[in-house]
Amino acid sequence: MFIILLIVLVALIVESAYLYSLTSGLREAAVQLEDQIQWSSTTRLTVACPNRAAEQLLQQVNRLAERRQVEKTEWSRREQSLRQQIANVSHDLRTPLTSILGYLQLLEQEDLPYERRQAYLQVIAGRARTLQSFIGSFYDLTRIEGGEFPLERERISLTRILSDQLADSYEQLEQAGIKVEADLPSDIPAVWGDRYAATRVCSNLLTNALRHAKGSLTIRLAKDGNTVVMTFSNPAPDMLPEDAGRVFERFYSANRARDRESTGLGLAIVKALTERMGCITGARWDNGIFTLEIRWPL
């Protein structure tokens, strides 16, 4: 009888020691969890005493903590991006507005000659158009990315759309001294897309070329497997290879100090529209030649 009682007593002592160790381990895990919350620590929670249920519980807590850390990092990235976008919007609004206000002050001069007054008014009108274009583009991009820009997919001819856009831009291209080489075969098959959106894409690409192309512009359409590849290529000696990877970002301009008329929204709209139409859009810079490429699904 004494031996049985001794065995029971030893078992109770062992079980108590185990429970005490487990409780201490859970308390230590709770302290670690509090440190994670307070100091954003990435240390994984552990329990010193082996216990499958406790270990499974801590595994789930660790997974939640890791997910929280990922979400926090993503939130910080988005917050930084939003701050940068707000700063860019403020810059792009403030620049033409400051110019407009400055010229309005000049117009208040009573002895201002008529010719100079007309010149100032033209500058004001130009800055106002720039401001109007920026606000319109920003509104359109917001609608596109928010899914509020309805698209109707149908069979469309890129050859026809590009030919019409080139005809409309002929005078501007000529005045800018840009020689255009267009390879638009008539047998290029129709692609799936929205006619208005495709026209907007081609218009924005031509506008981008008018602002940045140096001397020449090459436009090509070619069938490649189950896609039609559209490319816009032009010399860009002032561009850097890393710029090509960022041209589709909102408000991005390789040189904002010199490129005051560009808001950096035109190519962002191109990417947003083409992605919604199922296209693959890319850009590259090779040996001083900048190329924009869009693959349209057949």
Read off the pLDDT of residues 169-187 as tens digits, 9 standing for 90 and up.
988 899 889 999 999 998 9
* Other CB atoms within 10 A of residue 170 CB: 11
The one-letter code for the residue type at 11 is: A
Low-confidence ranges of the chain (pLDDT < 70): 1-58, 81-82, 84-89, 91, 251-264
What DSSP line would sit under 132-195, residue for residue?
Answer: HHHHHHHHHHHHHHTT-S----EEE-HHHHHHHHHHHTHHHHHHTTPEEEEE--TTPPPEEE-H
pLDDT score at 260? 46
The pair phi, psi for residue 292, each rounded to 5°, is: -105, 130
Structure tokens at 210: 């008018």
State the Cα–Cα distance between residues 262 and 211, nearest whole angstrom: 8
User: Cα angle at 78 between 74 and 84, to 5 degrees?
Assistant: 145
pLDDT score at 293? 96
The distance in angstroms from the start CA to the end CA of the chain is 90
pLDDT score at 218? 95
The verdict on pTM exceeding 0.95 is no
State the Cα–Cα distance between residues 120 and 132, nearest whole angstrom: 18
CA nearest neighbour of 229 among 182, 294, 279, 145? 294
The radius of gyration of the chain's CA atoms, rounded to the nearest angstrom, is 32
| Complete domains list, the chain, with CATH | 2-73 (no CATH), 74-145 (1.10.287.130), 155-297 (3.30.565.10)
pLDDT score at 159? 95
pLDDT score at 130? 79
The pair phi, psi for residue 152, each rounded to 5°, is: -120, 110
